[in-house]
Amino acid sequence: MADADDTRTGEMLGGRYKVGALVGKGGHGEVYRARDTVDGREVAVKFLAAHLAQDNDYRVRLAREARAMSSLNGVGTLEVMGILGAEDGTPCLVMELLEGCDLAEAIASRNRLRVRFNLDEVVTLFSKVVSTLEAVHALGITHRDLKPSNIYLVGRKMHDPRIMDFGLAKVSDMQQITADRMLAGSPSYVAPEIWMRGARNADHRADVYSLAVVIFETLTGDVPIHRKNLGEMLMAVTRPGNIPSLQKIRQDLPADIDDWSKQAFAIKPEERFQSVVGMWRAFRAIVGK
């Protein structure tokens, strides 16, 4: 297989997609622009990194992402055209090309400016995100990797978010993947039950917890719990009393917001809000939006 640093510009995929310029590169692979030679449409192609393309677990993850996202086309996620093989056999995902930035970039930009998102912006954004997650959960899918970098703001606008990266999603009729990669990559967003019992039996209430973390971070500029290693994170996430007061950080929020936090971040799933919709309705009722 080709080295991950080799350019793929000019490759033809599936006899249809002509690969163009490199858009971005990360530890999991590269994303290129490409053109659909049938209808002229610009698309994005995600190539798995060479060392991961030889790892069967990661190949399963890419296929899993393609299947999950294909079932969700049109409900606030990226449209996926399919999974193909590059000229050297590397798996790649062909999907909708979007222009904008992810929520992590938007939060970092506001942090640099020392400006926080106002409540109207937060309500606009997460009303759409919650609507999408409601549809996702209705299809029997739990995302399991919700975080700001997986929420894309089309045109950098809060009113058109897309949920991305369903590679760790739990689909009701599919074999489940362990929590190891979630804990290694995004520990601040992982629900307590995954820390304690693994991802195998985690359900949509894990997404409730993760979404609450994302909402907290969007409001404050930082995650509620962060520790320097996984051992300390485990202790902090699975013991009560470690969630900072939202109202003390955001004094424009009513005091009742901390009651919302207490339930949203409940360690036991059965004590948490039982749906993203229920959590969001409670939030809006408290902030009066």
Which residues are annotated as catalytic?
145
How many Cα atoms occupy the beta-carbon half-sphere of 191 within 13 Å? 32
Q: What is the C-alpha separation between 26 and 1, in angstroms, rounded?
A: 18
Q: What is the C-alpha separation between 138 and 133, in angstroms, rounded?
A: 8
Q: Which two tokens stand for residue 172?
A: 């009701």
Q: Give the three-state DSSP class for 123.
A: helix
The Cα-based distances of 63 to 53, 55, 174, 247 in angstroms read: 12, 13, 11, 42
Q: What is the C-alpha separation between 260 and 275, in angstroms, rounded?
A: 13
Q: Which of 31, 5, 4, 29 is nearest to 19 (CA)?
A: 31
Strands (E), 108-150: 141-142
Which residues are within 8 A (CB) of 105 and not within 5 positions of it... i.e. 6 or more apart? none
Kindly report the number of other CB atoms within 10 A of residue 27's CB atom.
Answer: 9
Q: Which two tokens stand for residue 149?
A: 């970098």
Please say whether the beta carbons of 194 and 183 come within 8 A: yes
Please say whether the beta carbons of 106 and 207 come within 8 A: no
Q: What is the C-alpha separation between 19 and 44, in angstroms, rounded?
A: 9
